[in-house]
Structure 1
Amino acid sequence: MMWRLLARRAPARSWTVVGDLAQRGSAAGAASWGEALEQQAAGRWRERRLTVAYRTPARVMAVADGVARANGLPVTPVESVREGDHAPGVRRRERGDVRAVVDAVRDLLDADGDGTLAVVAPASEVAALRPALDAALPGQVGDARVSALRARVSLLEPEQVKGLEFDDVVVVEPAAVVAASGRGLSDLYVALSRPTRRLLVVHAEPLPAGMESLQPDPRPGQGATAGVP
């Protein structure tokens, strides 16, 4: 329907469409550009793949790409222009332990002293995390409705971070992100690829396939336990 609407507004059907199929918003969405475009521009479309990542460090993209390859997401391998100074890390926590997430946020804020940070968590975690973060960082926490992108720390669900970037990102419970919807794997890929500096994963449930390269974070905060199952 949306493609037909676009065709009516551009009768010459001359478009430049930029997108990432791995970030599609529905599990029923197009699996290829041919599927998306052939009906409206049969035989008249050309695909060009962008293969250079200017924003995301190679170390971070390696984690996101690992998830994509292990789970069959249709992503184009990219080459980052910089390696990045910080290896992505992981911290174990007890199930439902919001203090471990707060400690992770504080440690990242203390590590660099500036920049923006996003806590990306499934909806099932957000209700408990919000008051804990507000108490620990009064006046510094925003979300998708209030002070989004202007706050030092943003608490967001995975589908709310598409197209955004942050210096540091804490991803909470990747397995729960995947299980939350039919597009969960795409949501996880998006969440993992948002940081321009540091990526830290905090979890209790086993990590999804493709995240085996994550190493225990070298600065576990109070109440957090380092390690990967």
Structure 2
Amino acid sequence: MSNQQEQYNIDFLVQQLRTSQDNAVLKQTAKHLGFLGANNPDVIAALIHVVRTTIDEPTRWAVIQSLSEIGTDNNDVIQTLIEQLNTARIPTRRIAAQNLAKIAVGNQYAITTLISLAKIIEEEHTRQYVAYSLRLIAKGNKEAVNALIDLIYKSSDEYTQNFCIDAFANLGEWNTDIIDALIYIDKTAEFYTRLKLLRMLKIREININGYTSYSSFRPLLEQIKEEIKQPE
């Protein structure tokens, strides 16, 4: 396909996005533009318009998917996904979080925006999906780790706690702040979250002899914390 023909196709598809009222057409058009419209400002603007205006949730999901494929370095795309993460219905928040997590890896604007949102949100579902996204970028990013630690103390949501545990499981080393957060989870979490904590300790080859899935891990975690604090 020539560049001229490709541009014609893109212009035609953008026009469809702006004028069609048929959700099936909108979804299929968004899918095509996910392949053709990389970093094209007209395509990105048209897709964002659909995300913000459509009342059909599956259409919004398809458009979000395309935006995450063609706008990985576009701040307007990131801001749009953050908006959905913060205000949309629960299924759409999930889709936005999944796609934002893909963009956020290595994207400082996305990371900074997520961390800033983590500091101010009070709604539990939003905290949950922010934690979902942050867990994928926490490795090697101290600010993201600190944001997850902060979410542990702010949230009683089991999914949020589990996403934080997932993030800590993938870190090379723990510091005392992480251990304190895990101790807090052990004090406050439900059984299944504490069971996940047990499994994480096993995976990290931490000696859990004498501790069962019903036990408190606080003494063990306090011991690990003291070992971390010991000078070399």
Which band: TM-score by shorter chain? under 0.3
Q: Report the structure, 1 or 2, having the larger helix content.
A: 2
Q: Report the structure, 1 or 2, having the larger strand content.
A: 1
Highest Rg: 1 or 2? 2
TM-score normalised by L of structure 2? 0.27
| Higher normalized contact order (CA 8 Å, seq sep 6+, divided by chain length) | 1
TM-score normalised by L of structure 1? 0.27
